[in-house]
Amino acid sequence: MLPLPNIAPTAQFERTDSAPVEPEISIIIPSKNEVESLRILLPALKQVCPQAEILVIDDGSTDETASVCHNCAVRNISLPYSLGNGAAVKNGARIARGRVLVFMDADGQHDPLDIPRLLAKLADGYDMVVGARTGNSHAGLHRATANGIYNRLASWMTGQHILDLTSGFRAVRANKFRRFLYLLPNGFSYPTTITMSFFRAGYLVAYVPITAARRRGRSHIRLVRDGLRFLLIIFKIGTLYSPLKLFLPVSVAFFLLGLGRYLYTFTTSSRFTNMSALLLVTSIVVFLIGLVSEQISALNYKDSERN
């Protein structure tokens, strides 16, 4: 029996014989042409989590994903065309009936045996538990380096020690996850967005170390195309959590450059140049943009306490 978080129901309903039993846990697996991995993953999930609702969100696959799901008695939600990993996750979260959502990849990297560990940690009172990959679990040095940069930046922004910002293996309370669906992108950066949103709203986030296996099949991430997208994660981290923390250092840098330029020109030629004025004005503009962005960012979380 899996440990389940102690979640108080939001409403009481009279039970009838015809009323369907709502699952406590829904496992959501976004998938695109991962049939070979699903053949192994789905039976393992059925064995480890026999009472869980398992949803495979088929993001426009052209392989036999639907057939494999049918043979494994797993619900398959087939999207008519590819919308992206994040879009598949959002569709799964809307459809899932469980009060706890478990997200995992379809490529065989995540071990179903780690799910009870995530749920046990969630039962300790956390709102989201993330499977944090160990150092040797990343697919290549470039991935490990990028994730290390993201983790350090996010830790600085939040003041919390973030072990894995981009992990797609996590367990979360459904009602709180759905509050931020409108913020989640359709691409691969949804884990970053939801993690920073939870920290910004003051929800409790924990990490459980996991070892991710080497993926089966071919990755859908492209180094150049998605590398540029992941660079935007750095700016998204700042704008989601505290934009002023991102804009203030830039403003201070422009101010110091302007002041240094002024002191240099004043001591050498007793002049206040246009370049000095431009740098000083730019520092003020950047600072004001940071203030406005801070207020706009706060509006995204004004309804985070609604049930």
Residues 46 and 122: beta-carbon distance below 8 Å: no
Asked if residue 107 is part of any domain, the answer here is: yes
Show the domain range for 161.
Answer: 25-240
Give me the half-sphere count of Cα atoms (radius 13 Å) on the Cβ side of residue 296: 11
Beta bridge partners of 208: 131
Instruction: Give the residues across from 275 on adjacent strands.
Output: none
**Spatial CA neighbour of 53 closest among 88, 11, 20, 90:** 20
- Tell me the three state secondary structure of residue 300: coil
Whether residue 178 sits in one domain with residue 165 = yes
Does the residue 304 lie in any domain?
no
Asked whether residue 200 falls in the same domain as residue 256, the answer is: no
Give me the pLDDT at residue 243, please. Answer: 85
Give the pLDDT score at 72.
92
Which segments of the chain have a pLDDT < 50? 7-19, 220, 307
pLDDT of residue 12: 37
Its pTM stands at 0.78
Do 189 and 262 fall within a single domain? no
Cα distances (Å, whole numbers) of residue 235 to 113, 157, 225, 242: 35, 11, 17, 11
Residues 70 and 215 in one domain: yes
Regarding whether 254 and 231 lie in a shared domain, the answer is no
Per-residue pLDDT tens over the stretch 5-53: 554 433 333 334 444 567 899 999 999 999 999 999 999 999 999 999 9
SS (H, E, C) 267-292: HHHCCCCHHHHHHHHHHHHHHHHHHH
| Backbone φ, ψ for residue 288 (5° rounding) | -65, -40
Instruction: Say if residue 91 is in the same domain as residue 45.
Output: yes
Q: Are residues 109 and 149 in the same domain?
A: yes
Domain boundary among 240, 257, 287: 240
Amino acid identity at 250: V
Domain check: are 72 and 173 in the same one?
yes
Q: Residue 156 has what pLDDT?
A: 85
Per-residue pLDDT tens for 277-297?
A: 999 999 999 999 999 988 887
Q: Would you say residue 307 lies in a domain?
A: no
